[in-house]
Structure 1
Amino acid sequence: MRREILLAGVALTLFGATDASAQALRSGQDAQIDLFVRNRAVAVRDRPQPAYDPLGIRAGGFTAFPRLQSGVVHDDNVFAAEDNRQPATTLRLAPEVVVRSHWSRHALETRARAEIDRNLDFDSENTTDWSLGGAGRLDIVRGVDITLAADYAHDHEARTAAGAGPVARRPITFDLASASLAATRTRGRLRLRADAAVLRYDYRDGPNDVGAVIEQDDRDRTIARLTGRVDHALSPATALFVQVARDDRDYRIVSGSPERSSSGHEALAGVDFELGALIRGEVAAGYIRQDFKDTAYSDLDGFSGRARLSWFPTQLTTLTATAARSVEDTGVIGSAGALRTDVSIGVDHELLRNLILMTEATWSEDDYNGLNRTDTRFAASFSAVYRLSRRYGLTAGLAYLDQSSSGASAGPSYRSTRLSVAVVSQF
């Protein structure tokens, strides 16, 4: 399903995808003596399905995995409006191809993807998004590797994105270029990791309902982030860690617009653990602070933390709970950022070998800096994946979103329900 919280979600996706790509690329390495591997249990979504997983198209040392998803999405409030809710139906086509190496050392992965939406009721909601990216891992010596990743995407801000305004005639589009570099060294009970990432957002202006231009240049920005982490293994199933991070958010200066540039720091201490094949997770707590250049905006600071716990009551069921607190950029006029709190819980169940059911509930709160405004969002979803064969499958999903906003500068409050069905073809 499409990302709903897009503005902050893209940045988080990059950092998260960088880690995920690194882990996937590292899967070919010998991990027998790695005290930081947590694989006693396999999550439902990660479990191999030899009878249904695509074989791909091999070419030399690479394998290509083409995929095409064709579907229909019905939204009962396509403009995320408080009143005068408008239902609409969208046809969606999402082609994708992933190419992975299968070398004995080092690894390389590239990806190209598009998502083409054509709304049957409102032409203004037609969008074409695409992205290109890749990641590579260099195995220097045993226990030392370097991972590089780069992506370029043309995307749009969903009507239901956190902080999105309802006045644009068409969804606001933007380009995102990103690059990251990560180095990891593991030796005995100690693991050191350093990450550097740069993201560049370039927003496009858009017209409002009466045809006037909505200026978006003041949202253009470059984000540079450095992260360092040290893990110490107490046992093969438990490790303590300390992580520090710094980010600089350099906004484009536009005449008549406030300066929204800032720099931030975060320090976390936590534990990464696995209790047999029943529970694994990571919990950390610390302090976060974001300092803004414009004195009109007060600095944001306070408790920071994140947690991810997975429970495996049976081999066929996975329960996952997450929580996080962070400082996020915002497109809301008059605000330089928001202190966000996210909590979610999800259940995945393998009802049949080829039928997986998934449900998730999330709650988030954005406390805006510079405005007397707080947004609270509750979302719930249910989806199913049914694999007919290696090449074909069906997906269906139902998602509900409820946003409420309070304060003297309160934003829109609305509800939205989406139903989607799709056919998946892969090789």
Structure 2
Amino acid sequence: MLSAGILFPPAAAMAQDGPAFEEFEEFVDPVDEVGAPPASTAADFEADPYPVSDAVAARDEALFADPAAPGAPPELRPTSVVVAPIRSVSRPVPPSSSAALPVTGTIPLLVDREADDRAAYEPAGLRLGSFQIDASLTSGLGVSSEDGAHLYTAGELRLTSDWDRHALGLTLQGSTERPFDGGLKDPVGSALLDGRLDITDVDRLGGTIGYTFYREDDDSVEVEASGRRSDVHTLSTSLGYERKAGLVGLDLKGALDRTIFTADSDRDEFLLSGSMRLTLDSGATLRPFVEAGVVARLPDAERDEDGYARRGLGGELKGGLAVDTDFVSGEVAVGYARERLDDDRLEDIHAVIGEGELIYSPTPLAAFSLRGSTTIEPSAIAGATGSVTHAVDLGFSYAIRPNIVFDAGAGLSYEDYTGFDRSVLTTRVTAGVSWRLNRTVELSLSAGHEVTDERGPGAVDNRDTRVLAAVTLRR
């Protein structure tokens, strides 16, 4: 299943992308012409494993965690693997993180007095041979106007290689809420093993093997229609080839996903997807690209319990621009996607798609982020082909002091079903502050309000206000 809601990045720092909030005194570019950090980089500066713009990553996820709206691997997303796995809008997205949309290129790392001040609060991590280990644990007390008080717990363990050539990484993440009245709410977990093989200076192979788990939301349209709430398990693997030589760069990617719904076997499926991207790279700050992708949906059952044949074939075509300057970094793309199922009674599902992320840092201490996505999700509702979700999120971060960061965000998503009279409009606002006491301990306080407006027969509107106070320990 796919999901598209993307929140402004919060405090537990589950993502690594983000602008450095330092004054421009010395410019250090850790990325060579093919995107690999040179061996001398580590000696030139101390990298920040928890950038200021990411110092708010798990907190807002805790406020409005949407287990049906996973973000990794996301559309056009960056990973430690140069050749990222294919992310068609029609393929299921794992539910681990919510803020990992595309940032093409690397925001320049800057070295100055501000960086020196921040270094006193940066966790050093652990060394294991040629690997770096970073771990964090977040625990907090939350209050929701809809669900009452609960304990929030999240953890992350990241293992990253430190090699001159090639790369290997392992990331484990998980979070859950435990209401005071008992039970376990919204458990989410993921594991990702990714690697990169540098064949030549301009040719690379990359691959991933991943697993994700989440529990469907009681308020989701699929659960309301079927009356069955599933634990969702997804196994995925991907392989890609990248060539960066001359004016035109080439990216070929393919992926295979296996999704299992514990309470609704009619929805169990394999999803096979592939894409090709061509990028015009003349050395300018703007790099146009075009990308085409195909997807084949293969449910286990030839027909579901309502007699519909839901095997299908789809494709998408999009074009966009990647930008990488001192102040602006990211990429945006627009295009068109369509999917056709075998059953003639089900309408084709199609949409104009838009996706990407832009990060703007007008000063070393402030950053604005704009993220957008389009996702296509299958459906098991009788007569429904699936749904299309458009989402956009705006975020702002400001470093009040080297160890104190304020952030705010606003988001909107619209989900519309094909073949079923139902649409869902969701809006949310969040704000919070995080305070690092030292390299190990961080305190955070955040609040948010979310409004869900459903249209159609049996629609139910929801309002939810949440507050979370948390402590994060890092090593």
Same-fold call, TM cutoff 0.5: yes
Aligned-partner residue type, residue 249 of structure 2:
R
Aligned-partner residue type, residue 39 of structure 1:
I
- Of residues 100, 103, 106, the one that matches 2:163 is 103
Q: Deviations over 1:102-125 (max 9, x none)?
A: 1111111112233343211243x4
- Of residues 330, 334, 337, the one that matches 1:285 is 334
Shift of 1:101: 1.2
- 2:67 paired residue number: 6
State the alpha-carbon separation in 2 of the partners of residues 187 and 244 from structure 1.
20
- Of residues 33, 44, 56, the one that matches 2:125 is 56
- Of residues 292, 295, 313, the one that matches 1:263 is 313
Aligned-partner residue type, residue 174 of structure 1:
V
- 2:247 paired residue number: 189
Aligned-partner residue type, residue 135 of structure 1:
D
Give 1:4-403 correspondences, 5 Å limit. Answer: 4-7=65-68, 9-10=69-70, 12-16=71-75, 19-23=78-82, 37=105, 39-40=107-108, 49-78=118-147, 88-123=148-183, 125-126=184-185, 128-159=187-218, 164-165=223-224, 172-205=230-263, 216-253=264-301, 254-274=304-324, 276-330=325-379, 334-403=383-452
State the alpha-carbon separation in 2 of the partners of residues 102 and 255 from structure 1.
51
Shift of 1:262: 2.3
Shift of 1:185: 0.8
State the alpha-carbon separation in 2 of the partners of residues 91 and 41 from structure 1.
37
Aligned-partner residue type, residue 318 of structure 1:
A
Q: 2:83 touches 2:207 (CA, 8 Å); kept in 1? A: no
Aligned-partner residue type, residue 318 of structure 2:
L
Q: Deviations over 1:9-58 (max 9, x none)?
A: 33x42245963232599xxxxxxxxxx7453588xxxx894222221111
Q: 1:41 touches 1:312 (CA, 8 Å); kept in 2? A: no
Change in CA separation of 1:332 and 1:395 when aligned onto 2, cut-off 3 Å: farther
- SS at 2:73 equivalent: helix
More strand by share: 1
- SS at 2:420 equivalent: coil
- Could you state the TM-score of these two structures normalised by the residue count of structure 1? 0.82
- Of residues 448, 455, 459, the one that matches 1:411 is 459
- Could you state the TM-score of these two structures normalised by the residue count of structure 2? 0.75
State the alpha-carbon separation in 1 of the partners of residues 153 and 422 from structure 2.
37
Aligned-partner residue type, residue 181 of structure 2:
D
Q: 1:234 touches 1:240 (CA, 8 Å); kept in 2? A: no
Aligned-partner residue type, residue 311 of structure 2:
S
Change in CA separation of 1:310 and 1:186 when aligned onto 2, cut-off 3 Å: same
Q: 1:374 touches 1:410 (CA, 8 Å); kept in 2? A: no
Task: Report the aligned-residue RMSD.
Answer: 2.7
Aligned-partner residue type, residue 292 of structure 2:
V
Structure 1, 14-23 or 318-327: larger mean CA deviation: 14-23
Structure 1, 177-186 or 107-116: larger mean CA deviation: 107-116
Q: Deviations over 1:42-91 (max 9, x none)?
A: 8xxxx89422222111121112222211112222113xxxxxxxxx2221
Higher relative contact order (CA 8 A, sep 6+): 2
Q: 1:4 touches 1:158 (CA, 8 Å); kept in 2? A: no
Gaps of at least 5 residues in structure 1 are 26-35, 79-87, 206-215
Q: 1:98 touches 1:112 (CA, 8 Å); kept in 2? A: yes
Q: Deviations over 1:179-230 (max 9, x none)?
A: 111221101322111111222111122xxxxxxxxxx112222222211101
Q: 2:83 touches 2:241 (CA, 8 Å); kept in 1? A: no
Shift of 1:346: 1.1
Aligned length: 388
Change in CA separation of 1:308 and 1:90 when aligned onto 2, cut-off 3 Å: same
State the alpha-carbon separation in 2 of the partners of residues 4 and 127 from structure 1.
8
Shift of 1:231: 0.3
- SS at 1:165 equivalent: helix
- SS at 1:21 equivalent: coil
Q: 1:165 touches 1:332 (CA, 8 Å); kept in 2? A: no
Aligned-partner residue type, residue 226 of structure 1:
G
Gaps of at least 5 residues in structure 2 are 1-60, 85-103
